[in-house]
Amino acid sequence: MGKKLTALVVCSVAGIVVLGGCAPSTFVKQSAGWKTIEFNENTQGNFDTAWQKCVDTIARDYDLEMLDKDSGYLRTAWIYGISGGTYNRYSGRITVKFPELKEPTKVDVKTEAQWLTDEPRGLWLPGWDKTFQRDVYTALSGRLGRTVAPE
């Protein structure tokens, strides 16, 4: 009995070391979807104001990797250690697109997350993070739109 228990413990520890532990409980293993923020009356119809508020809000906490005002597209670099996850194994990024540039009434936001499942081979598991999405959506809603809790 003692040898079986020891073998089980050794195998369990080896599995944790090899697999690098588990992804945070807020990680969802499925494709990230877009969420829409409808603009408030101060932002609605004014692309320059909406764009600047969006850029200012995101750039305050994240590095911008791609920024194209002419197409209404913004994306951050991968941010490591989101939602309290292991710094080098868990990351996320934000993508924003304005579907209408002339007189915008809304903006679309997508947050993605990825978990490093196999460090030696560099294999990442794609998905999204509940806490990261909530925090980004809440910050942008507070500046651009109606302050409504995310779904």
* Selection from 33, 111, 108, 31 nearest residue 71 by Cα: 108
DSSP H or E segment with residue 11: helix 2-19
Average pLDDT of the segment spanning 4-10? 47
Residue 44 lies in a domain: yes
72-109 per-position pLDDT tens digit: 999 999 999 998 877 789 999 999 999 999 999 999 99
Question: What mean pLDDT, rounded, does the chain reach?
Answer: 86
pLDDT of 12 strictly over 70: no
109 lies in some domain: yes
By residue range, what is the domain housing residue 53? 27-144
pTM: 0.80
Tens of pLDDT, residues 107-148: 999 999 999 999 889 899 999 999 999 999 999 999 998 655
What spatial distance separates the first Cα and last Cα of the chain, rounded to whole Å? 50
Which residue matches tokens 């003692």? 2
Q: Establish if 10 belongs to a structural domain.
A: no
Say if 77 falls within a structural domain: yes
d(CA 35, CA 109): 5
Residue 13 lies in a domain: no
Q: Is residue 11 part of a domain?
A: no
The answer as to whether 2 is a domain residue is no
Rounded distance, CA 151 to CA 126, Å? 21
According to the model, what pLDDT value does residue 86 have?
A: 76
The answer as to whether 1 is a domain residue is no
User: Looking at the 3D structure of the chain, how many domains does it have?
Assistant: 1
For residue 121, the domain's CATH number is 3.30.530.50
